[in-house]
Structure 1
Amino acid sequence: MDRADLVVVANRLPVDRVVDTDGTETWRRSPGGLVTALEQVMAKTDGAWVGWGGKADLDIEPFDFEGTLLVPVPLSAEDLKYYYEGFSNGTIWPLYHDVIAAPVYRRSWWDAYVRVNRRFAEAAAEVADQEGFVWVQDYQLQLVPQMLRELRPDLTIGYFHHIPFPAYGLYSQLPWRRQVLEGLLGADVLGFQRVADAGNFQRSVRRIFKYPTRANEIEVPAGDGGSRSVIAAPFPISIDAQAFIELSQRPDIRARAVEIREQLGNPKKILLGVDRLDYTKGIRHRLKAFGELLDDGAVTVGEVALVQIASPSRPGVEAYQDLRDEIELTVGRINGDYDTMHHTAIRYLHQGFPREEMVALYLAADVMLITALRDGMNLVAKEYVAVRTDNRGVLVLSEFAGAADELTTALLVNPHDIDGMKDLILRAINMPEAEQSRRMRAMRRKVLENDVEAWGRSFMKAVDAVRNKRATGAPIPREVKPTPRKKPRE
């Protein structure tokens, strides 16, 4: 098997398996945010991507896809139940999202997590070139960095954490807290979405291991009796802003945006929510606020419409099945109370859409509602801002989403404060165009400056600094250590 100087390790391969009506199997690029974020990084090299192929017990040989070597890691139905649905999404996901739902601690899940992480580490070790770089992605694979370091000490290892990292008071509840930190500290560079996440990680390391930390560096004992420096810093992820801008200029997509407004009965204002169906996204809180605005008579059906996209997510997890039932009951009740023969209060769509349709929806929406209870970043916020080349539209953004650190001229909302959310929704609906323009211009400038290519460059600059220190002993320059951003204005 060919070896690669850059290897990405993620839970999923960047492709979806498609079976045609005649039984022919092909692969197409996945539409997910991680794939999009890494697309430009991978395009600059003949790299490899290690990940699960998307189907239980799918055991196939590595293959080339558009210049990238894809290395499938087989997972059984039991692996998926215990490692993915169990430990990753029944233990780590709720714990790291501030225990919005109660995490479950099962030893059988942990055992599967260790076993599967080792399988990913072994696959990466086999495909990585001598002294290559391996970039591990996200919470499903937190043990891979240390396992990989033990297998291939010649490698430089990066890890990016796409979701929040919790405060020590929450993290300390994890029975395997030491093992997970040891796994992560196998990396040379650890990237987090927010200053607070990197700080939470460092505090956990200090509390549990007493390792010295200075700025964004952690001194970790090495096997030779010395120590090595690990960078743990914020590298807020972004989008390919230019690609979204180009889509927004296409005549067919702009025509589709007009058509969407017509299909909704040409209301004066369209509110839009776009989320995975997940309890962290605050969809229930958003619906409650909108329902109360209708109850109060502050908004009326026909004048204002809410479109809620809730793409399917983890249907095998009971908490998600319950959430879907609750949301659909709430939507049904509100629509039953307020719909007319010609207008619907909430257009609810439990399905995913291609990027072109999403851009048309962004262009059609007067107000974007992002009310996450906790979110690592939320790229939808940046996508909405990127396509609004007219400098119109209002972003209502949860202060608990990572994007709030950068998009400080959005209307920042505490989603737990229903009255406060109602006030901000009304303010967004009635915002003068001059204020919309001022706020949107500032946000668009931030998104265009800090796009996904800048994110990749920033992370790789830190990796190069670590490699240089290893080779020459030179200290890591301060400019590769991102400085904390200013606190958003209230």
Structure 2
Amino acid sequence: MEASARAGHAGSEPAQTAELYDFMVVSNRLPVDRCSPDESGCEDGWRRSPGGLVTALAPMMTKTDGAWVGWHGAPDETLAPFSHGGIDLVPVQLSTQDIELFYEGFSNATIWPLYHDVIAAPEFHRTWWDSYRKVNKRFADAVARHAAPRATVWVQDYQLQLVPKMLRELRPDLKIGFFNHIPFPPPEIFAQLPWRQAIIDGLLGADLVGFQRSSDAGNFMRSARRFLGASVKQQQIHVKGSDGQTTHIARAQAFPISIDVKQISELAQQPEIIERARQIRQDLGNPKTVLLGVDRLDYTKGIRHRLKAYAELLADGKVTVEDAALIQVASPSRERVEQYRILREEVEGTVGHINGTYDTIQNTALRYLHHSYPVQEMVALYLAADVMLVTALRDGMNLVAKEYVTARTNNDGALVLSEFAGAADQLKQALLINPHDIDGLKAAIMKAVHMQPAEAGRRMRSMRKQILHHDVDLWSADFLAALEEKVIRDDS
């Protein structure tokens, strides 16, 4: 980081009073949430926020002399840059209308369902798109103002797909990477988006566009060819200017994200967390089998499919409340969006029906927890659970699956994993399922419940080996190393 007394850069505001950074991460949200001073983990009114993106990037950011650009979570409030937990933070101001149109609207009611294979119907509104463009420009301006000459900028996720091109136009000296944490749809689905060309064009402002799976990178390159007429050679996309000449080459590659393996492994071996796991089982009545689901309350996670399968197993007598218990953690998500309110009502109605039908005085069939929990409690839940259920209908990665496997330091337990989650590409020894196939899901659950220790150990050792050798540090290092690679131009 350099204190700047330099002149402003072309296309950006003067930077005489701004700190300049050689490395910057850009995401919709900063990695902090507001908190009360008397709350645990609260420091100067802020605490590290939960979520996969923060979990993945915060360890790397504390080791670099860079800054994180994002919204701080409060609408209609302007904050100056500040530091927290060893990370310099550059807040971007969003209004109440921005939240409604850019975030709840275009990001989460247009792009999110479209990119998740239209599990829910996306909505297309021009006012949402106008807001999306304006907010992306605000983010690009903030980065241009604080980026040192030839800095490296890593833009994150679907809310900011226009930032790479905007940033290239403002600051052509920058090295720009983009990582898409959610799936990228095939061209046949992406074709529905009225602003498909602008989105592809925005992403192609990056030198490197990263995806969770090779199939996502392939979908993106096919869309670039189909909707922009781009020349695609292997993983390189030749971006042409208005004169038809190649201005730069963008690359599209898969970089499967991972977790902070060291943190989860150490927590899983702490005596107080092991004791907490024992207490959780005791509070459930010490059933033979504890099953666990951990998700944001989102229609992409397949929670309704999971509950349907479990209810049928109870109805069939394959599992009983005396011998088994399911814990479903469903953390609150986008509760102002109508589809999410409807989903919550449906899930809570199903939970009530299952427990009303099968509970006894001593035993509960399903323990439903509509909360977010600190990582220590999550690791205790992972240790308490014999079977982990990940039944996503579509998921970029699913870090919960990787956290569960990492926490099983004794190489026991079983993972039932949707083939439509990115994690299925790495965790091939899980019991892979199609969540739409309820009978197949039920069969996989019963196989997990009755799996012999030798087979469970063999599968878990294989999955743990994969994750232990591919942690979040390797993910970020691989992406940034690829971003720095020289591109050999071949315009023939």
* Structure 1 and Structure 2 fold alike (TM over 0.5): yes
Which 10-residue stretch deviates more, 221-230 or 402-411?
221-230
Q: Superposition pairs for residues 266-277 of structure 1, below 5 Å?
A: 266-277=286-297
Kindly state the Cα deviation for residue 474 of structure 1 after the two structures are TM-superposed.
7.6
Contact 1:270 1:304 in 2 (8 A): yes
Partners of 1:223 and 1:152 in 2: how far apart? 19
Partner Cα separation in structure 1 for residue 433 and residue 232 of structure 2 = 33
Residue 285 of structure 1 pairs with residue 311 of structure 2: no
Pairs within 5 Å for 1:17-416: 17-20=34-37, 26-222=45-241, 225-416=245-436
Change (3 A) 1:122 1:30: same
Corresponding position of 2:8: none
Secondary structure of the corresponding residue to residue 19 of structure 2? coil
**What RMSD, in angstroms, separates the aligned Cα atoms of the two structures?**
1.5
**Alignment match, 2:456:** 436
Question: Which amino acid in 1 is paired with 2:30?
Answer: L
For 2:410 and 2:55, how far apart are their aligned partners in 1? Answer: 25
Using the alignment, how far apart are the partners of 2:203 and 2:452 within structure 1?
A: 48
Q: Determine the structure 2 residue equivalent to 1:484.
A: none
Match of 1:481 in 2: none
Question: What amino acid sits opposite 1:368 in the alignment?
Answer: M
For residue 453 of structure 1, what is the amino acid of its counterpart?
A: D
Residue 26 of structure 2 corresponds to 9
Secondary structure of the corresponding residue to residue 257 of structure 1: helix
CA separation in 2, counterparts of 1:46 and 1:59?
A: 24
Normalised to the residue count of structure 2, the TM-score between the two structures is 0.94
Paired amino acid for 2:411: N
Cα distance, 1:219 vs structure 2: 1.1
| Counterparts of 2:36 and 2:98, CA distance in 1 | 23
Superposition deviation, residue 17 in structure 1: 1.4
User: What displacement does 1:69 show?
Assistant: 1.8
Could you report, residue by residue, the CA deviation over 1:279-323 in whole angstroms, capped at 9, with x for unpaired residues?
Answer: 000000000000000111111112010000000000100100000
Write out per-residue CA displacement over residues 166-196 of structure 1, whole angstroms, 9 at most, x where no aligned residue: 0111000000000000000000010000010
Q: CA deviation at 1:82?
A: 0.3
Q: How many Å separate the matches in 2 of 1:394 and 1:7?
A: 39
Query: Which range moves more in the overlay, 36-45 or 235-244?
Result: 36-45
Q: Aligned partners of 1:343, 1:66: CA distance in 2, in Å?
A: 43
Deviation at 1:394, TM superposition (A): 0.3
> How many residues get paired?
470
1:3 alignment partner, SS class: strand
Secondary structure, in 3 states, of the residue corresponding to 1:400? coil
Shift of 1:31: 2.1
State the AA in 2 paired with 1:146.
Answer: K
**Do the aligned partners of 1:46 and 1:67 also contact (CA within 8 Å) in 2?**
no
Cα distance in structure 1, aligned partners of 2:131 and 2:37:
33
Contact 2:358 2:365 (8 Å CA) reproduced: yes
Structure 1 residues not aligned, in runs of 5+: 476-490
Match of 1:271, SS? Answer: strand
Number of the residue aligned with 2:444:
424
Q: TM-score under structure 1 normalisation?
A: 0.94
2-structure distance, mates of 1:32, 1:329: 27
Pair 81,328 (structure 1): closer, same or farther in 2 beyond 3 Å: same
CA contact (8 A) 2:238 2:246 kept: no
Find the counterpart in structure 2 of residue 452 from structure 1.
Answer: 472
Say which SS state the counterpart of residue 109 (structure 2) adopts: helix
Name the residue aligned to 1:486.
none
Aligned-partner Cα distance in 2 for 1:164–1:375: 7
Give, in whole Å, the separation in 2 of the partners of 1:340 and 1:30.
38
Q: After TM superposition, which residue ranges in structure 1, 4 or more long, deviate above 6 angstroms?
A: none
Q: Distance in 1 between matches of 2:52 and 2:430?
A: 22
Please give the alpha-carbon distance, in whole angstroms, between the structure 1 residues aligned to 2:277 and 2:151.
46
Report SS of the residue matched to 1:95.
helix
Q: Which amino acid aligns with 1:286?
A: R
CA distance in 2, matches of 1:164, 1:86: 19
Q: Aligned equivalents of 1:452 and 1:349: distance in 2?
A: 28
> Which letter does structure 1 place at the counterpart of 2:443?
D
Distance 1:40 1:269 in 2: 35
Deviation at 1:67, TM superposition (A): 3.3
Matches of 1:222 and 1:462 in 2, distance apart?
Answer: 24
Q: Which moved more, 1:214-223 or 1:322-331?
A: 214-223
- 2:394 aligned counterpart, secondary structure: coil
Instruction: Please tell me the residue identity of whatever aligns with 1:406.
Output: Q
Matching residue's letter, 1:288: K
Q: CA–CA distance in 2 between the matches of 1:284 and 1:332?
A: 13
Amino acid at match of 2:62: A
> Structure 1 residues 169 and 446 mapped into 2: Cα distance closer, same or farther (>3 Å)?
same
Amino acid at match of 1:126: R
Distance in 2 (CA, whole Å) between partners of 1:235 and 1:57 is 36
Per-residue deviation, 1:221 = 1.3
- Structure 1 residue 20: deviation in Å? 4.0
Please say if residues 261 and 267 of structure 1, whose CA atoms lie closer than 8 Å, have aligned partners that are also in contact: yes
CA 1:279–1:83: 2 relative to 1, 3 Å: same
Separation in structure 2 between the aligned mates of residue 192 and residue 49 of structure 1, nearest angstrom: 20
Q: Is the 8 A contact 1:282 1:371 kept in 2?
A: yes
Following the alignment from structure 2 to structure 1, what is the Cα–Cα distance between the partners of residues 85 and 241?
A: 39
Which one-letter code corresponds to 2:112 in the other structure?
W
Q: Counterparts of 2:104 and 2:429 in 1: how far apart (Å)?
A: 37
Matched position secondary structure for 2:252? strand
Could you tell me how far 1:40 is from its partner in structure 2? 2.7
Query: Percent sequence identity over matched residues?
Result: 60
Give CA-to-partner distance per residue, 1:192-247, whole Å, 9 cap, x none: 00010000000000111221212211111147833421110000000011110000
1:144 and 1:242 map into 2 onto residues whose CA distance is 33
Deviation at 1:25, TM superposition (A): 5.9
